[in-house]
Chains A and B, each alone.
Chain A
Amino acid sequence: MSALVSVEQVVRSFGSVTAVDAVSLDLAENEFFALLGPSGCGKTTLLRLIAGFEQPDSGRILIAGQDVTQIRPRQRPVNLMFQSYALFPHMTVAANVAYGLEMERLPKAEIRRRVGEVLEIAALTELARRKPEQLSGGQRQRVALARALVKRPKVLLLDEPLAALDRQLREQMQLELKRLQHEVGITFCIVTHDQEEALVMADRVALMQAGRIAQLGPPQELYEHPATHFVASFIGRMNFFEGTVTAEGLQHPSLGLLHGARPPDLAIGESASLAVRPERLALDAEDKANRLSGRVQEISYRGGDLLIQVAVQGLEEPLTARLGIETLSKNPEVGAAITLGWSADHSRLLSNG
């Protein structure tokens, strides 16, 4: 797999704040990549470094094998879709989309043909003569997308493309974007703070924390095998137990031994956390290695499953379990005593460092 974009040891600081701290990553041909993280983690700065709107203090950026670190944004074979969309308000939809091709001084006929094609793909043909102010949020988003795509960039960079849309439209556009990426065969690199969005759309996700990449990999890997406590808590819901590492798992000060495989980077006796996903907890599981009893504190019905909070003696936070409706013979009740278990395979031991 040859890298289409290579970010090599890039550093970018603003005053005393290091927004991007010696980050290296590769984007492959034709992949959907997500830069995920809480606000202020440096993901947007990293995107703007690739686009060329920020200059690295050190390190370099290669696109298709060419060092573009010193090259202006307008000469890079990438296009950026802005969070505000930044549509030109005095131009029609078609003129907005044609703008980038006019800058390439292409013949008029070709511009018309390519604008027509892209408007077709983005389902904007009917709206070609409208001004941005006459469009809905979702339509504006598609115009911004079409305007960037018509340039046929090697990489399309998207800065929080769905943040301005309401929830229902956002879910629809997640699938739409993924379909579009398949159709045009261009590498998409999206910035988002929404972990669900990243998991749904991306082939690979880089989760960032304080200017560094906390973990990079396919969504399933980040979800099932989080590398750090931060990754485990940022992606999805997670139950944590704090204790010290033993040969069989984690020794909890009040719950005793919790079973789980010890990763090689954790030494016996070290303080660490054991994490387990709510959906890995099962009711009355006598065959499971780990079993905890408590009282049901809260039940929320979520369609296909129940989310229950269980208060356990010796734990500050209640335990969260997600139970599938079809696995329950009868629904648990608030206040009832309950035993939850999980197998050692589903325990993740994480360093607290």
Chain B
Amino acid sequence: MARSWPLSLHLLAVYVFLYGPILLLMVLSLNESGLPTSWSGLSFRWYEALAENSAIQRAAINSLIVAAVSTVIATTLGTLLALGVEQRRGSAGLDALLFAPMIVPDIVLAIALLSFYYILNFSLGLHSIILSHVVFNIAFACAVVRARLKHFDWAMIEASEDLGAPPHITFFRVTLPAILPGVVAAALLAFTLSIDEFIIAFFTAGAGQASTTLPMQVYSMIRFGVTPEINALATLFLLTSFTLVLIAQRLSGRRGSLT
């Protein structure tokens, strides 16, 4: 089956459009001169500069804290929510309410959360960012786990009870392992969404450097132009995400297709 050449050309153009800028960024991060216009040799000096920039490091640590904590909370609550909703055959209205946080524009959610915290007299900082990220991530985690549950045989839960297992043993030995690929996928999605989230974090961070996340830090640096350091940072980010995705694929591959 020969593919027609206009189609191949189209495919190539799409890939270049998608990955060209990213490749360029990775190459530039290794450029000795740091200038986008001239190549002056391979160098890791911008990675070294990155390692010495304490503001970026602190922002990176903040982002990791926010992403990790909000992922754990959102995935746990989202998974339990998905189990509950799928078991009870919910209504269309209930479904809509579950999807809403995914559709509401970030800016609206950001303002709403800020007003909410203000009314409650809730202090702002990393904890308020975490809480805000949990809000939208529950919806995403729940949606991913629910997709997995469409193929879940609920008779397994009864079979486990029939064989003598109390409910908590059934959850940890039957239900959770059977839906684990879905839960891992939900956690990875939540982590990815959280770690580069800007608008909501920016609104709910409060004043001061202490609760600056990585995207906020990059934003403040980029106002003076794109520095080679940021290219290096972006490259590291990219490699980390690729690794995470690879791990996720390996995990779900080993678990097999549990239909």
Contacts and interface: CB of A to CB of B under 8 A. Distances in A.
B178 A53 contact: no
Contacts of A86: 153, 155-156, 158-159
A1 interface: no
A84 interface: yes
B256 A131 contact: yes
Contact of A74 (B164, B177, B180): B164
Q: Which 3 A/B pairs are nearest by Cβ-Cβ distance?
A: A103-B164, A100-B163, A86-B155
Contacts of A87: 156, 159
A49 interface: no
Contacts of B169: 103
Interface in B47-72: none
Interface string A59-95: 0000000000000111000011011101111100000
Given A84-B155, A88-B177, A89-B259, 7 more contacts: A74-B163, A74-B164, A86-B153, A88-B160, A89-B178, A89-B256, A90-B177
Contacts of B258: 89-90, 133
A100 B159 CA distance: 10
B165 interface: yes
Given A86-B153, A88-B156, A90-B255, A73 B178 contact: no
B220 interface: no
Interface in B150-179: 153, 155-156, 158-166, 169, 173-174, 177-178
B91 interface: no
B89 to A, nearest CB: 14
A162 to B, nearest CB: 17
Interface of A: 51, 53, 72-74, 79-80, 82-84, 86-90, 99-100, 103-104, 131, 133, 147-148, 151
B178 A90 contact: yes
For the residues of B in contact with A, the DSSP-based class is helix
Nearest to A157: B162
Contacts of A53: 158, 162
A147 B174 CA distance: 15
A88 B180 CA distance: 13
Contacts of A104: 164
Contact of B162 (A51, A90, A133): A51
A86 to B, nearest CB: 4
Contacts of B161: 72-74
Contacts of B160: 88, 99
B153 A74 contact: no
Given A86-B155, A86-B156, A86-B159, A100 B174 contact: no
B87 interface: no
